Amino acid sequence: MRGTVQGVGFRPFVYRTACELGLSGWVGNDSRGVLLEAQGTPSALSALVRLLTSRPPPLAVVEQVEVLAVPVQAATGFVIAVTDVGGVPDVRVSADVAPCEACLAEVGDPADRRAGYPFVNCTDCGPRYTIVRAVPYDRPGTTMAPFTMCPPCQAEYDDPADRRFHAQPNACPDCGPTATWTAAGGGQLVGASALAAAADSLRSGGIVAVKGVGGYHLACDARDATAVEELRRRKQRPDQPLAVMVSDLAAADELCELDQEARAAVVSSRRPIVLAAVRPGADLAAEIAPRLTEVGVMLPSSPLHVLLLDAVARPLVMTSGNRSGEPVLHRDEQAHQVLGPLTDGVLAHDRAIHVRVDDSVLRSRTGGRLQMLRRARGWVPQPIRLPVPATSPVLAVGAQLKSTVALARGGTVVLSQHLGDLDAWPAYQAFAEAVEHLVGLTGVPPAVVAHDLHPDYRSTGWASQCGLPLLGVQHHHAHVAACLVEHGMHSPVLGIAFDGAGWGTDGTSWGGEFLVADLSRSTRVGHLAPVALPGGDAAVREPWRVALAWLHRSLGAEVAAEHGPRWDARWPAVLALAASGRAPETTSMGRLFDAVAALLGVVSHVTYEGQAAIELEALARTADPRKTPAYAFAVTAGRLDPGPALAELLEDRARGVPVAQLSAGFHRALAEASAELAAQAASQHHLDTVALTGGVFANVVLGDQLAERLRGRGLRVLQHVQLPPGDGSISVGQAAIAAACTSA
Ligand code: ZN
Ligand code: ZN
Ligand code: FE
């Protein structure tokens, strides 16, 4: 049996099923999955095969069952065989799972031997991917190896009737990991008093580092404005929204408006952060998500979090424990070093995290499906089906920002967790570790490495030095391919790829693209009008620069000079650069959102990626739809020109039209113009399907309005659901393209 069959209680399940059917034989893990031999009556044997696939344990995903006849040997009873560690590993490790009801009941029962124990788990729950060092999945291959089970734990582990039969991370207060509290002023506490000290600190306004499932968090009281401000100051994160952990669904309901699908995601055993509209009057510090209308909530992802939330009895900010722009910290020594000075204490434990995995982030959208924004804990390393199987293994190394890597083999691809922005050296190290871990888990060296065309991406640099055959994939082609993977398609579509930046086939920076593409080819058939990007990277951090460039391009130097002084004293030099023709040009849609945000006075300097667009969208959501002004782009010969709309926006702004209406008007005009250009291109190229992809489509106002208009023109629309629309999916797209190109 192959698939996600190790670490999910599969062997005990086989054992119980075989015993029920009166079969004798054995079951064991091997490097390729679960191997079993059974003998008995033909009808019992076929019942076994049927039951193994029709009612597997909750966390198992059976991908393949191979049945063959072997000579009968004398055997009585059914046993679980010792692990065979030979062969080439090719096994699906399960994702990490939040504590199950049965385990939580034990933690809450004062008479239970695991009462109040923060590391309780069983075959249905607990850490998995984050603790696995090597396959096959067995205790010696995990970070639980140093803990020797006590006799009662060993008895559970050995008893086929027990819920913990072969639960690899099985532990109890006598033999398992222990919580520790290290106070900033010195002094250490262990066990229950460690948890109590952390809770005391949080209740009195402290900032605490907490070791979670896939890394450390920084926590504070989410109702305490002073604590939240202090956390922002210490972490040097002034604006980016912070996630909030609450004890249960009722507490989440008090904070935000969750529809049925969002509620199901919040309580699911994957325990993601779900972004949803803040309930008016919610008891939360305003500093959690400044100027935004949504908040990210999650329920406890481990028993340690359950106990901490119980003890504190209020919502807690839970934000990644890292230096700004760097990946989440997961090694204890480093975490203490970096986070110790930022906090009043560190709540940790002695079970090592082998693989760092961030919290996953989903966004709730009214009337629509949930949208994945960051795919990590709870999803990784769950495989994704490929539209065209990979005949030889492909490693895809992704882009630069929101980096992920992917490994395709046969009919599926495994996407790594979100690794961060490779500009930061520690993120590049995480990238290199993720490649090694992913290849290690499959044990087969890739035959092809797919990479972005951008020569300066660190992922491209890694590829160029790996010594394997390479396949360069255009950035926006990869975006469209990722969207095709989600929908199991490989026939040509019209792809609309809107993002911040990607290397074009002409060597310029693209980002507002209309492509005719399938998994093996892509042709650019339309794009946003190009504009100067004065100052390169500085123009990304300072939206006013590109606003000046758009003004100059659309309305001339005089109008640009009128607006310059309200943004930055350096405006004359920047305007001169934009006018000189020496600045690089871009067709980036992300930069157009930046420009509009600056023009409308929303934000002129940003502190996190996507901030301008996120704040503009939040404004558009609050606007009265009956009062949305009608603006127009010029759409000609495969080109979108926002010039006319920019002029109208400025006029209306001068007339005092509320900025929310202006933002709504911009969104609507962009959706209308994009739909028009798409419809023209689709008809010209005889296509009936449009794929919406790229980081700009994290914006659901734009995505939903554009989708509605495309459907109104008789087109089928593909949108991202299970994969993030942004660069986190680039590696999947690259892998799918490489698979299609090498199989042809
Ligand atoms: Zn459990
Ligand atoms: Zn024990
Ligand atoms: Fe992109």
Proximal ligand: closest to the CA of 694: 3
Ligand 2 centroid from CA 147, angstroms: 9
DSSP 3-state assignment of 348?
Answer: strand
pLDDT in tens, 201-253: 999 999 999 999 999 999 999 999 999 999 999 999 999 999 999 999 999 99
Burial 216-243 (b: 16+ CB within 10 A, else e): bbbbbbbbbeebbebbbeebebebbbbb
Proximal ligand: closest to the CA of 733: 3
Proximal ligand: closest to the CA of 105: 1
Ligand 2 centroid from CA 153, angstroms: 4
So what's the pLDDT on residue 249? 97
**For residues 229 and 239, what is the distance between their CA atoms, to the nearest angstrom?**
10
Residues having C-beta closer than 5 Å to ion ligand 1? 100, 103, 122, 124-125
Ligand 1 centroid from CA 163, angstroms: 8
Ligand 2 centroid from CA 201, angstroms: 30
Whether residue 161 has pLDDT greater than 80: no
**Mean pLDDT of the chain, nearest integer:** 93
Proximal ligand: closest to the CA of 157: 2
Proximal ligand: closest to the CA of 172: 2
Ligand 3 centroid from CA 724, angstroms: 11
Ligand 3 centroid from CA 475, angstroms: 6
pLDDT in tens, 342-382: 999 999 999 999 999 999 999 987 666 899 999 999 999 98
Ligand 2 centroid from CA 101, angstroms: 20
So what's the pLDDT on residue 185? 87
**For residues 144 and 128, what is the distance between their CA atoms, to the nearest angstrom?**
11
What is the percentage of the chain residues whose pLDDT exceeds 70?
Answer: 98
Mean pLDDT, residues 327-356: 95
So what's the pLDDT on residue 291? 87
- CA-CA distances (angstroms) from residue 629 to 518, 660, 666, 699? 37, 11, 8, 20
pLDDT in tens, 162-197: 889 889 999 999 999 999 999 998 899 999 999 999
Residue 75 CA to its chain's centroid (Å)? 48
So what's the pLDDT on residue 3? 84
Residues having C-beta closer than 5 Å to ion ligand 2? 150, 153, 172, 174-175
So what's the pLDDT on residue 85? 47
**CATH numbers and ranges of domains, the chain:** 2-80 (3.30.70.100), 179-361 (3.90.870.10)
pLDDT in tens, 237-250: 999 999 999 999 99
Q: Which contacts qualify for 143-149: CB closer than 8 Å, 24 or more apart?
A: 143/351, 143/352, 143/353, 143/354, 144/168, 144/169, 144/171, 144/176, 144/351, 147/171, 147/175, 147/176, 147/177, 147/351, 148/175, 149/175
Mean pLDDT, residues 252-278: 95
Of the candidates 173, 180, 185, 167, the residue with the CA atom closest to the CA atom of residue 131: 167
So what's the pLDDT on residue 366? 67
Ligand 1 centroid from CA 173, angstroms: 16
Ligand 3 centroid from CA 694, angstroms: 5
Indicate the pLDDT class of residue 558, thresholds 50, 70 and 90: very high
pLDDT in tens, 298-308: 999 999 999 99
Ligand 1 centroid from CA 100, angstroms: 4
**For residues 247 and 378, what is the distance between their CA atoms, to the nearest angstrom?**
18
So what's the pLDDT on residue 475? 98
**For residues 288 and 325, what is the distance between their CA atoms, to the nearest angstrom?**
18
Of the candidates 715, 696, 607, 617, the residue with the CA atom closest to the CA atom of residue 664: 617
Proximal ligand: closest to the CA of 151: 2
Mean pLDDT, residues 663-685: 98
pLDDT in tens, 14-38: 998 999 999 999 988 777 788 899 9
